[in-house]
Amino acid sequence: MVKTDPRWIEAGPRPMLIGGKWRTAEGSKTFKVISPFTNEPLTTISEASASDVDAAVRAARTAFDSGPWPRMSPNQRADILAKVGRLIERERDRLAYIEAADMGKPISGGYAHLQQGIFAWDYFAGKARDQAEEVVRVAAGSHFNYRMHEPVGVVAEIIPWNGPAVSASQKLSAILCTGNTVVLKPSVESSLSVLVLGELLMEAGIPEGVVNIVCGPGATVGDALLLHEGVNMVSLTGSVETGRHVMELAAAGLKRVALELGGKNPNIVFGDADLDAAAMWAGIAAFSNAGQVCVSGSRLLIDEKVYDDLLKKVVEQTRALKMGDPIDESTQLGPLVSRKQRDRVLEYVRIGVAEGARLVYGGDAPTEPALSRGNFVRPAIFDGVTPEMRIAREEIFGPVLSVMRFHDENDALALANGVEFGLAGAVWTSDIQRALRVAGRIDAGQIYVNGYYSPAMSESPAVGHKQSGVGEAGYLKYTVPKTVFVRLVS
């Protein structure tokens, strides 16, 4: 059982972490933290000014250029990273409670999700110890060269609101393992758990200025980071529109850019698949975290031979999901992160109906007294969806499942690849040859076979195709390669 304590939501304004110190914003500007379950204020957070961003980047710059972190031995860095993982284990109840209260992630799922963040710190602690140069012998006895990956420097990391503690853990552990320093900007929609993570980093012994956390809107805080001359690299997880904006601003300083962007991911089920398993995972893929997952299986493509049977199973199991207070451990579906996001999802439901798709379940805002104040949308399942419909092409980032039928393998692949995104996809079949063949032809960076979601994101990172991503995967994206040529003879 997860222990909870409302006192974990501290009174504001919550300060930011800059140069190893917790400080409020210059000018004392703040923004409100609103509960997605009640739409009532929870606390306030200091909103960074341009001066605060400058101070954070300068602290990271000093820590990289002359501080101890890049000059520590790999084992010293690894020990600190591993300690962060142990501290998150200690504070897992607190972090799960805060994310449930702040962004609506059901506490039971959030508790399990945090294990991925813990694993990231342990995994990259190992990577910190395991970074070897590649040696090439050019001419025996006279020449050789070696190639290594050096830290890129100061990284501006911008993370989304749909799982901030885990997202921050996966990014920070990869950034830090090679000796980089960082300024991290969480979303204004969910910053509290990231600030708690900052406390744990300081307790673990991260030197001053190595990790800085600044909070506030992307249009001000994010842009100030992107344009700052002290930043070497910008990394974003967010929408395609935001990714384009990041590339435009980063181009002015020719900063390195890594982008993890949107998805409209196909979940393909062939007639010979285990339909009970496929139905169960179709619901998990589409509706986990209220559909607010970048690799969400938002398009369910079903073989016409089993279409009606599988659709019925998915509707029945979706109808049984419990919607409610995200702090309640029995809740399976929590609210969307904000009223704005709820209204966006409801508008897409209206669009789907207007386009001619058949709404076979859900798609409404619950009116029950226990739910009506929150940002809830009952999961929407659309039948009769065609490729040209907006609900089949655009990322909604909410609990909306578009179901489409296909005739054969080529038809399934045409539907799967017929969007501008290429983040993830899945294939269900008992034919291993077809599974591998279709997986190879889905134009996406992360493919699941007879399952959904990856249990190994840190050790098997992926990059989105098409408009779903830019840059290298894993910790190497936070490094720059260098080759040294050595002449041994005079």
> What positions carry a catalytic annotation?
260, 294
Q: Which of 336, 446, 327, 308 is closest to 400 using CA atoms? A: 336
Cβ atoms 387, 409 nearer than 8 A: no
Half-sphere exposure of 56 (CA within 13 A, CB side): 33
Q: How far is CA 240 from CA 98, 128, 159, 422, in A?
A: 28, 32, 14, 12
- Among 246, 215, 208, 273, residue whose Cα is nearest residue 406: 273
**SS3 state of residue 15:** coil
What is the DSSP code (8-state) at residue 449?
E
Are residues 389 and 352 in contact, defined by beta-carbon separation less than 8 angstroms? yes
What gap in Å lies between CA 156 and CA 311, rounded to an integer?
A: 44
Which is nearest to 386 in space by CA: 347, 344, 358, 350?
A: 358
* φ/ψ (deg, to 5) at 319: -60, -30
Token look-up 């900063």 returns 255
Structure tokens given for 309: 């049977």
Pairing of strands 41-46, 30-34: antiparallel
Helix (H) / strand (E) element for 302: namely strand 299-303
Q: What is the chain's length?
A: 490
Phi/psi class of residue 283: alpha, beta or left (left: φ > 0; alpha: ψ in -120 to 50)? alpha
DSSP type of residue 301: E
Separation of alpha carbons 409 and 354, rounded Å: 30
Collapsing DSSP states into helix, strand and coil, what is residue 346?
A: helix
